[in-house]
Chains A and B, each alone.
Chain A
Amino acid sequence: MHFTPLPYLDPGSGSFLIQLLIAALLGLGVALRASWGRIKGWFGVKSQPKADDDDDEPETK
């Protein structure tokens, strides 16, 4: 797989580091939400199907 090691725009060291930190935290949230859905599933609670991104409407109301 091709991977550009250096982007053509400087992403900024600080921006990179804070992003890793924030994303790690937020990724945990995503994981927790997913497993919470599974736990609820064991008890027969159906979670709301998340709207697929392919149909989402990015515009504000």
Chain B
Amino acid sequence: MTSQKQNSSQLASSFRDPSGFLFSRDGVLYRQVNHKYEQEYARLMESGLYDKLVKARLLIPHVEVEQTPAEVELAHKIIRPERVPFISYPYEWSFGQLKDAALATLSIQRRALKAGMSLKDASAYNIQFMRGKATLIDTLSFEIYKEGQPWVAYRQFCQHFLAPLALMALRDVRLSQLLRVYIDGVPLDLASELLPQKTRFNFGLLTHIHLHAGAQKRYSGAEVKSRAASMSQQAMTGLIDSLDSTVRKLEWKPGGTEWGNYYDITNYSDAAFEHKKHLVREWSGRLKPSLVWDLGANNGVFSRVAGQVGALVVSSDIDPTAVEQNYRQVKDEKTESLLPLLIDLTNPSPSIGWANAERDSFGTRGPANMVLALALIHHLAISNNVPLLQVADFFSKIGKWLVIEFVPKMDSQVQKLLVSREDIFPNYTREGFEAAFCQRFRIAEAVNVRESQRVLYLMESLARPSDH
């Protein structure tokens, strides 16, 4: 839903389902509904299911429009879905985000069954966070339910949601990154092998993961006779209830990891902290960005300040604990304009999938109007050895305005990074920093942060708008 390549082009991620596809024309995103899907679309709209789901903010709203179809012979209708302001992927979500996406999917399936429909896929990529809430963005995901029919998306639900959630909760939260390798979800035999033995005593995990994996291996490629493959609606309800309670029972509590209590151990005073907030507020108020990327956002303190001007703030951090805390706060405060994401800036999400074009890399999902890089430069330049000019180059391409904090070498946080290694960074000085960034930016303002040795800059990228 992000890239608009040509004047009218089918989106690279939209090719699997013959019911229709997404295309973009003159920068607007449309979905073509094919003749093949006519009956299902009518049922969705006329049964009241669409209205109920949209009201519950579980399904993306759309309008039917008069547009020339992208594929005329196939076309039944053209719809224009509400635009998703920023697309994110399951391997960028915290535990709580993936869990909410799973529960939203099951809630949709329950409501669909009541309207005589059923989800024909349960892909985590069909869920996006819109105004803080997990929402299904594929309007064509429903099929007409016929009693007796099993849930065709059962395997996909287990692979995309249940398996990674169980691994995150019961083995290690970092295993969410398996989703980056396995685009159709974690293979169940792998999940079964990695999960602790005690999970065999949990009825939900025993059946939906362990026995499921065993059955897949044993009956791979076997023919299922359609008469035998019959399942009552009561059985379907039981299945959905069981998946729901299994998911709900999975918990992960953010503990103290890398930055878990970062703001308690910072080396600067309240005055410095408030001064930084003041500057971020002033600059974002002046520039009125609509999309802000806060990189290395920790639990999102400064993202919230930047978001006060009405921008959508993508608040990313490398630490699963910080991202989870950030997301919990978003939910508690019902913040609609903040999207916490798990991003390792030294290795941001690549473009993956068929032809490397199904899921976009992090860098190409912009540009942002404003990028925040607070207390970040030393991690990139010193911990990760990235030359300052390369840091400047990357930042200049992902956004128009940059708010960046220079943390000098004598700062105790930088000293900590240097304590166990040779200082091979002679250019890591304020002058060296400015010299490098001046090659890619115009420095609009530079302000010494009160009661600290740090400097906060507002810079404008010199990259051509087409690079943005």
Show the binding face of A for B, using Cβ within 8 Å. 1-5, 7-9, 11-20, 22-31, 53-54, 56, 58-60
Contacts and interface: CB of A to CB of B under 8 A. Distances in A.
Contact of B154 (A3, A11, A27, A30): A11
Contact of B120 (A7, A13, A14, A18): A7
A26 B69 CA distance: 45
A30 B230 CA distance: 17
A11 B151 CA distance: 8
B217 A23 contact: no
Nearest to A61: B331
Given A26-B238, A53-B114, A3 B216 contact: no
A57 to B, nearest CB: 9
Contacts of A58: 58, 100, 103-104, 106-107, 134
Contact of B150 (A3, A20, A54): A20
Contacts of B155: 11-12, 15
B454 interface: no
23 contacts: A4-B120, A5-B226, A8-B17, A8-B19, A12-B216, A13-B223, A14-B217, A17-B222, A20-B230, A20-B231, A20-B235, A22-B211, A23-B231, A24-B231, A26-B238, A27-B235, A28-B238, A29-B238, A53-B114, A54-B111, A58-B100, A58-B106, A59-B104
Contacts, number: 140
Contacts of B121: 9
B153 interface: yes
Given A15-B154, A23-B231, A53-B114, A59 B331 contact: yes
Contacts of B151: 19
Interface string B201-242: 000000110011011111111111010111110111111011
A13 B144 contact: no
A60 B226 CA distance: 37
Given A9-B16, A13-B224, A59-B100, A19 B241 contact: no
B307 to A, nearest CB: 20
Given A9-B16, A24-B231, A14 B152 contact: no
B238 A56 contact: no
Contacts of A53: 107, 110-111, 114
Given A1-B144, A13-B223, A13-B224, A60 B100 contact: yes
B152 A7 contact: yes
A58 B242 CA distance: 14
B327 to A, nearest CB: 10
Contacts of B241: 26, 30
Contacts of B219: 13-14, 17
A13 B331 contact: no
Given A13-B222, A15-B158, A54-B56, 17 more contacts: A9-B16, A11-B150, A11-B154, A13-B220, A13-B221, A14-B222, A17-B215, A18-B215, A19-B151, A22-B211, A26-B238, A30-B238, A30-B241, A53-B111, A56-B107, A58-B103, A59-B104
B416 interface: no
Contact of A1 (B146, B152, B212): B146
Contacts of A30: 234-235, 237-238, 241
Interface string B87-124: 00000000010011001101100110010000011000
A31 to B, nearest CB: 6
Contact of A27 (B143, B216, B232): B232
A7 B242 CA distance: 23
B149 interface: yes
A35 B166 CA distance: 33
B39 interface: yes
B350 interface: no
B52 interface: yes
A22 B22 CA distance: 36
A15 B215 contact: yes
Given A7-B120, A11-B155, A22 B110 contact: no
A13 B229 CA distance: 10
A53 B104 CA distance: 11
A59 B121 CA distance: 20
B154 A19 contact: yes
Nearest to B188: A15
